[in-house]
Amino acid sequence: MDISRFAGKVAICTASTTGIGYAAAERIAREGAKVVICSRRQEKVDAAVKKLRDQDLEVSGIVCHQARKMDRQKLIEFTLTTYGGVDLLFVSAGVNPSRGPMLSMTEKQWDKLFDVNVKSTFMIIQECVPYMIQRGRGAIVINSTVLALFPEAVNDFLQQIFPNETEIPPAKTFFQRYGNPAECGAVVAFLLSEDASFMTGEIISVGGGAEYFPIPKM
């Protein structure tokens, strides 16, 4: 870990009070960034900010429902007021309102999935990129599967992780163990850093090999 890799950088991490979002925010902050975290619930924001500040990390937080335009605007304005700019963005918000077969998904469930996972992801990127351009460079990582929907101009900033699930049963992974959010957080930090400056538009799988090395049923 390079504790100065993100020195002078400001990062926004959405849906970042638990899980992969929190792990990424923690890792980026440990490597020197000033980080703004957010969640839909104030109590979760407060708890996560305290936990991170107890590690002497430069972190602030605000309530934000990523699918709401006004909340996104408040998030960005809060970041600009608190830290003076935006350099890095990790979009971690995502929902799965229907875990059954595709044919059982309702229109309401589809609308929710699209609004959060696709539309709001595109919109927050569109809203942040101008501030990255002002600072000369930016980097974006998405924790989702919507990369192909973004235009080439945004793609210059963009990377993507495909974490699968971090609690895949050990028997279904190549390494025969559970994954954990910190392992995804480390990959996010790399993709946001200058170490990945010659990478763009990449899809990085962090799933313990489950998608490539299926374990046969006994």
Residue-level pLDDT at 168: 47
**Residue 5 located in a structural domain:** no
- Residue with the two structure tokens 């279904």: 172
**Residue 210 located in a structural domain:** no
CA-CA-CA-CA dihedral for 156, 186, 86, 65, to nearest 10: 100
Query: d(Cα 99, Cα 96) in Å, to the nearest integer?
Result: 7
- Domain residues for 61? 10-205
**Residue 218 located in a structural domain:** no
**Residue 38 located in a structural domain:** yes
Q: Do the beta carbons of residue 36 and residue 63 sit within 8 Å?
A: no
Residue-level pLDDT at 149: 42
Q: The domain spanning residue 186 has which CATH number?
A: 3.40.50.720
3-state SS, residue 84: coil
Which whole-number Å values give the CA distances from 27 to 6, 145, 166, in the listed order?
10, 22, 17
3-state SS, residue 63: strand
**Residue 1 located in a structural domain:** no
Residue-level pLDDT at 138: 95
Closest to 12 in 3D by CA, of 98, 121, 111, 119: 121
**Residue 145 located in a structural domain:** yes
Structural domain total, the chain = 1
**Residue 96 located in a structural domain:** yes
Residue 127, both tokens: 């809203």
Residue-level pLDDT at 205: 80
**Residue 217 located in a structural domain:** no
Which whole-number Å values give the CA distances from 92 to 16, 103, 126, 135, in the listed order?
7, 27, 16, 23
Closest to 212 in 3D by CA, of 183, 174, 178, 160: 174
| pTM, two decimal places | 0.86
Host H or E run for residue 80: helix 69-83
Residue-by-residue pLDDT tens, the chain, 218 positions: 778 999 999 999 999 999 999 999 999 999 999 999 999 999 999 999 999 999 999 999 999 999 999 999 999 999 999 999 999 999 998 888 877 787 888 999 989 988 998 999 999 999 999 999 999 999 999 986 544 344 444 455 666 666 655 444 555 566 777 778 899 999 999 999 999 999 988 888 887 776 665 554 44
